[in-house]
Chain A
Amino acid sequence: MIKKTSITEKRKRPLDKLAYFGIFLFAFLVFAMVVLFVVYILYNGIPGLTWEFLTTAPNPIEQTIGILPSIINTGYMILLAILFAVPVGVGGAIYLCEYAKNKRLIRIIEFTTETLSGIPSIIFGVFGYVFFCTLLNLKVSLLSGALTLTIIVLPTIVRTTGEALKAVPNSYREAAQGIGATKWYMIHTVLLPSASRGIITSIILAIGRIVGESAALILVSGGSAMYMPRGNFFEQIMGSGATLSVELYRYAYSRGENGIGFSIAVVLLAISVLLNLLVKLINKKLGTQKAES
């Protein structure tokens, strides 16, 4: 028997209050940690950021330090790995979502890609060293590094793009095919534009992974950023060289130069933020072309 109560009689709900307080606290902690982290890096890193630091190569004789070579190497790495990984990853996702008929095969491939995305990158590094550097004789080079990174980011791209394609309403597919569009025509005129947000997200995630990778790259593309990349484009990507993250590891860990490590971290942060903004901007441009409501 439930006791009759007045609607004005306020009940105390201590659990609700506690839950609300807890959730608020956690949300605040997350926010505070990010702010603290960024501020800490900026505080320690900015003093070391000089024009010389950003625009020269390290010179062991004059004992000066510069990170231009590793900025260039990072640029190459992003460019090459995205160039390799995006077409393959998006293509693979399209195949899995739109063409593949064998449900079991799809499940196996999806399971494999998910597992791959959780494997420590050093394992990819060992594989890349054996396969790309030695077996394919690409040497310890930026190219080997980019190929290894391609394998590392592929699962992310396949999965994120796949989720985006699955989220496109089936009615779009029906509508296009109902007036005679071929499958490919439908995919590139309706599905890909509708899924562009997801694809963009996958590229952002991939760039993050590429910029941040260090362990695998020490093995496959070398740990030194002493010299500026030389020669033409092809000679440059066949040379070895450290990216910013690898340099960061080298300075902070093996040479104990934490200050330089922080300065590099600031540059890395700036690059990540800029690239994310850039990709979002491109997406917005694409979006307005589609005439969003």
Chain B
Amino acid sequence: MANKIITKDLNLYYGTHHALKDVSIEIKEHCVTGLIGPSGCGKSTFLKTLNRMNDTIPGVRVTGNVLLDDEEVYQNAVDVTQLRKKVGMVFQSPNPFPMSIYDNVAYGLRIHGIKKRIIVDEIVEKSLRGAAIWDEVKDRLKKSALSLSGGQQQRLCIARTLAVQPDVILMDEPTSALDPISTMKIEELMSELKKNYTVVIVTHNMQQAARISDYTAFFLLGELVEYGETSQIFSMPKDKRTEDYITGRFG
């Protein structure tokens, strides 16, 4: 399978704190890649380097390479707006805007200059269907997004990301604030999404990584300890530290 994102010797510093150490990874297209590791291991930080969401934090310095479709993400010529259109993001807790359901999904389209009503209507429906929430909200598109339940809000946020037609979707612990049933719905959605998108997901929950991801990367103290097919990582990890972590000896 083709590589979608490649990082080479990626280092990231928050001021003097060395948060990512020489991370080199090849993320496969149309796969779900799970990032696991204990709190503070750098998995979320790594995720955010892929669409440069770390840019907004003062004092961050990045060295090394991130290649998206063989194009360097960290070069001056990059328009972060275009980058984030291609590499969308879903956050830990659902964060819909205080607008209607429809406007939430249409938000991204308007950013990128798509204003024609018929086209917007069509993409909104397609995105909501893609996020498996259309049937629940189709009769109340004009209602506030804040009236939805947490799980629905998170799927709405996924729809909002899908609407700008990204190639890659980054998810930062998307189910950690949700109940088990909503979690299950989003996990089911993930296997659908990978048909059209490349998905990278940070998760605290190892069972979740085992269930949904094709590849798994284990981070520890800013280092990428081990990366490989999920079945291999969970059945016969090569590194002792990976084994200790997935068998629950620490973390």
Report which A residues bind B (CB closer than 8 A): 101, 169, 171-182, 185, 189-190, 193-194, 290-293
Question: Contact: B146 with A293, CB < 8 Å?
Answer: yes
With both chains docked as a complex, state the minimum distance between the C-beta of A102 and any C-beta of chain B, in angstroms.
10
Residues of A close to B98: CB separation below 8 A:
193-194, 290, 292
Docked CA distance A101–B160 (Å): 30
Mask: chain B, 88-107; 1 = CB below 8 Å from A; 0 = not: 11110101111110010001
* Chain A facing B: main interface SS: helix
Residues of B close to A101: CB separation below 8 A:
58
Question: Contact: B58 with A189, CB < 8 Å?
Answer: no
**Can you add 6 more A-B contacts, CB < 8 Å, to A175-B95, A177-B84, A179-B85?**
A175-B97, A178-B90, A179-B111, A180-B81, A180-B85, A182-B111
Docked CA distance A240–B222 (Å): 69
Q: Shortest 9 CB-CB distances between A and B: which pairs?
A: A171-B95, A178-B89, A293-B144, A180-B84, A293-B147, A180-B85, A291-B100, A179-B108, A293-B146
Q: In this assembly, does B16 line the interface, its C-beta being within 8 Å of a C-beta of chain A?
A: no
Q: In this assembly, does B195 line the interface, its C-beta being within 8 Å of a C-beta of chain A?
A: no
Report which B residues bind A (CB closer than 8 A): 51, 53, 56, 58, 80-85, 88-91, 93, 95-100, 103, 107-108, 110-112, 142-144, 146-147, 157, 160-161, 163-164
Question: Contact: A171 with B91, CB < 8 Å?
Answer: yes
Question: Contact: B164 with A178, CB < 8 Å?
Answer: no
- The residue from B53, B88, B143 contacting A174, defined by CB atoms under 8 A apart: B53
Residues of B close to A173: CB separation below 8 A:
56
Residues of B close to A293: CB separation below 8 A:
143-144, 146-147
Docked CA distance A174–B103 (Å): 17
CB within 8 Å for A178 and B53 given contacts A101-B58, A169-B95, A185-B111: yes
With both chains docked as a complex, state the minimum distance between the C-beta of B12 and any C-beta of chain A, in angstroms.
18
Question: Contact: A179 with B93, CB < 8 Å?
Answer: no
With both chains docked as a complex, state the minimum distance between the C-beta of A190 and any C-beta of chain B, in angstroms.
6
Docked CA distance A174–B84 (Å): 11
With both chains docked as a complex, state the minimum distance between the C-beta of A224 and any C-beta of chain B, in angstroms.
49
- The residue from A171, A182, A189 contacting B81, defined by CB atoms under 8 A apart: A182
With both chains docked as a complex, state the minimum distance between the C-beta of B13 and any C-beta of chain A, in angstroms.
18
Question: Contact: B95 with A179, CB < 8 Å?
Answer: no
Q: Can you show 18 pairs from A to B with CB atoms below 8 A apart? A: A169-B95, A174-B89, A174-B95, A175-B91, A177-B53, A177-B84, A178-B51, A178-B91, A179-B84, A179-B85, A179-B111, A180-B85, A180-B111, A180-B164, A193-B99, A291-B143, A292-B98, A292-B144
Residues of B close to A174: CB separation below 8 A:
53, 89, 91, 95
